Amino acid sequence: MKKSIVFLAFILTLAACKTVHITGRKQLNFIPNSQLFPASFAQYDQFLKEHPPSKDVQKQERIRRIGNRIVKAVETYYKSRGWEDELKGYQWEFNVVDDSTMNAFAMPGGKVVYFDGLLKVTTTDDEIAAVMGHEIAHALANHGAERMSQVYMQNLGAILTMLATQNAPPEEREKWLAIYGYGSTLGVILPYSRKHESEADKIGQILMAIAGYNPDAAVNVWIKMTKLGGQQPPEFLSTHPSHERRIENLKKWAPEAKKIARQYGVVFDDENEEEGKK
């Protein structure tokens, strides 16, 4: 039994190794979109029944315009790289909900919710595009499926730990199960969550830039979030990078995003100003 589970885990790991487009990172993902997307779409519809989309037409049109513009950039970029088949099954949809929470989220398959409260921080189209690019990036990188795969493997590891300690005294067994639980969470699940957030930041900056939005705005968003205050947990206990690390990374990645966008004919306002000075 124990050998069978170990062999299953080994086979799953080998078969599920995929590559995230744009960053090239290898990821563990053995959940096919054909199975995940329908369930995701159903959950999204249920969420909107419980949290009806805002009736503010201007807000909805603005969010949808920016979101669809980034999707067009995704389609252009993916087609240029020969990745267009990877977009099959996505059904992009963007909705604003009236909620004071400063948040947004994307579900597998391209369903995005933008909370009205976040519009108090993201006041410009560029800043909104920074958030939308980030959420679209989560969907494109299949972070939801990867997290589910990680949790599955974590549970499989717990079973193996139980089997390995089944003949040990109860106190000893509980100790090893606790060590495994803390170790897998702090050493795997949380770091991967932070990696997902950083990866979505980087991909999102590139996508928003190709769509013609200034990637420097992503830095502005997190500077504003930092000024709002609020206690953050230590980074190693958090699923998100610290605001300071996020700002540092976004500043570093913005020039690269602009460089890629220029390949698609995008010229940014600050570059126009520099050209006018010559």
Cα(82)–Cα(26) distance, integer angstroms: 19
Predicted pLDDT of residue 126: 98
Mean pLDDT of the chain: 79
Q: Report the alpha-carbon distance of residue 119 to residue 142 in Å, rounded.
A: 26
> Whole-angstrom Cα distance, residue 103 to residue 139?
16
Q: Is the pLDDT reported for residue 109 higher than 80?
A: yes
Higher pLDDT, 162 or 56: 56
Count of residues making up the chain: 278
**27 neighbors 146 (Cβ within 8 angstroms):** yes
Q: How confident is the model at residue 59 (pLDDT cuts 50, 70, 90)?
A: very high
pLDDT attached to residue 156? 52
Q: Which residues are the active-site residues?
A: 135
pLDDT for the residue numbered 5 = 38
pLDDT for residue 145: 78
pLDDT tens for each residue of 235-265:
343 556 787 888 999 999 999 999 999 999 9
Residue 114 bridge partners (DSSP): 96, 104
